[in-house]
Amino acid sequence: MRANYREIPGLIEARLPFEGNSMSAKVLDLPTRSHGQIRSADGFLLWDRADYVVYSYGTIIGWGEGPNLYVRSRKWSVTTSRHQGILRRAGATWYQG
């Protein structure tokens, strides 16, 4: 689903997949998760506990684990910082690492 910045927070809260200009998210089904790991463009590694992943320019910046939503605290570009803010407004907590 194509989405704009106004629609994205609600899609994240509902854990729905979307494609934006530079931000996207996907739901990981059990077969995908059973492979053990997901590697981001910057080398960040998620294990199979994630069931929802949010990307900024192909880099994992947030993910869901059941009812919990996390956003990486690392700093990138102005646009990715905006994406992190969208995740925070959707209820994500900072992840240090």
| Structural domain includes residue 40 | yes
Domain that holds residue 66: 8-95
| Structural domain includes residue 18 | yes
| Structural domain includes residue 16 | yes
| Domains in the chain, number | 1
| Structural domain includes residue 2 | no
Please write the tens of the pLDDT for every residue from 16-50.
Answer: 999 999 999 999 876 455 445 566 667 677 766 78
Please spell the DSSP secondary structure of 15-80, one letter per residue.
T--EE-SSEEEEEPPHHHHTT-EEE-TTS-EEETT-SEEEEETTEEEEEEETTEEEEE-----HHH
pTM here? 0.84
- Cα distance between residue 53 and residue 44, in whole Å: 12
User: 81: part of which helix (H) or strand (E)?
Assistant: helix 78-89
| Structural domain includes residue 3 | no
| Structural domain includes residue 19 | yes
Average pLDDT over residues 8-15: 95
